[in-house]
Amino acid sequence: MTDKKYLHEIQGMHESGGVLYLASTPEDHLKNIKKYEFQKGDVLVNTFSKSGTTWTQEILYLLHNGVNPEEASHRPIKHRVPFIDFNRMWSRVMEMTPPRIFKSHLRSNFFARELRRGDLKVVVTLRNPKDTLVSFYHFYKTNMAFGNFQGEWNDFFEIIRKGELIYGDWFDFTLGWWSLRNEANVLVLKYEEMKRNPALNVQKMADFCGKEISQEQLELIVDSTSFVKMQKNASVNYADEAFMKKGETFMRKGKTGGWKEYFNQEQNQYIDDLLQTRCQPLGLDFDFED
């Protein structure tokens, strides 16, 4: 914990490079990630939290492991696609054999050297900030790792406004990766487009990773990774994880437009202004309703 006072204190959280991290992502581990040499063929799923991370992980795992949802369902996704930001997962990363797929919420600068080397491929899934932040609000309330947050939406929005979210500002994260969208080893997808046309986006991932799949396999992936199927799949929904408060669910709704039930007019204008000044000049836009 730093000496600085935050709107919401989480035991062990710390600031590095102007970004807040949980105790499970200590400073020395951040340095290890930055200097780690990935293997040729490694794939990294990178998202801002609550932006379709698990969905993207599962699709990529199936593409790299014979498109066998039944086999995949017997192993928790946290073991199949480890979260490299947590230092306790690092030994698993070291032990993994190809094909290796990882998950991270870190910004693009952590992987700049590896992207230049060219061995690592990164699939980035972006989601509109309004639904992302509402989903992250619920994650703060249901995930004990976030310090048993008891506040309401308006309290959470002030955390957003002050730049005190774990992993920092959505715009900083998003624009860092968006700037790399034309790199050969970076694929940027949008959550809303994945929902609208899942088959097209599964095929994009397959092509990006050099995986040939049949129409039957494509349809199997789309079906087995639908929100309804994944919500019922114990290997991906973290149903029995200790970090979730009793009775809460990791996968909540997965819909677009739910933000309207939370944002007041001023909050909506605040985000709209940032979208207009920071995203639109760079050609980045989003859908905000189904």
pTM to 2 decimal places: 0.93
Query: C-alpha angle with apex 80: 40 to 90, nearest 5 degrees?
Result: 70
Class assignment of domain 14-282? alpha beta
Is residue 58 within 8 A of residue 230, CB to CB? The reply is yes
User: Quick one: how far is CA 86 from the chain centroid?
Assistant: 14
Q: pLDDT, tens digit, for every residue of 205-234?
A: 999 999 999 999 999 999 999 988 888 887
Domain ranges within the chain, ordered by starting residue: 14-282
Calpha distance 201→197 (Å, rounded): 7
Q: pLDDT, tens digit, for every residue of 38-92?
A: 999 999 999 999 999 999 999 999 999 999 999 999 899 999 999 999 999 999 9
Q: Which amino acid belongs to residue 284?
A: L
Q: pLDDT, tens digit, for every residue of 125-165?
A: 999 999 999 999 999 998 888 988 999 999 999 999 999 99
Q: Which residues are catalytic?
A: 105
3-state SS class at 83? strand
Q: Return the structure tokens found at 228.
A: 């309804």
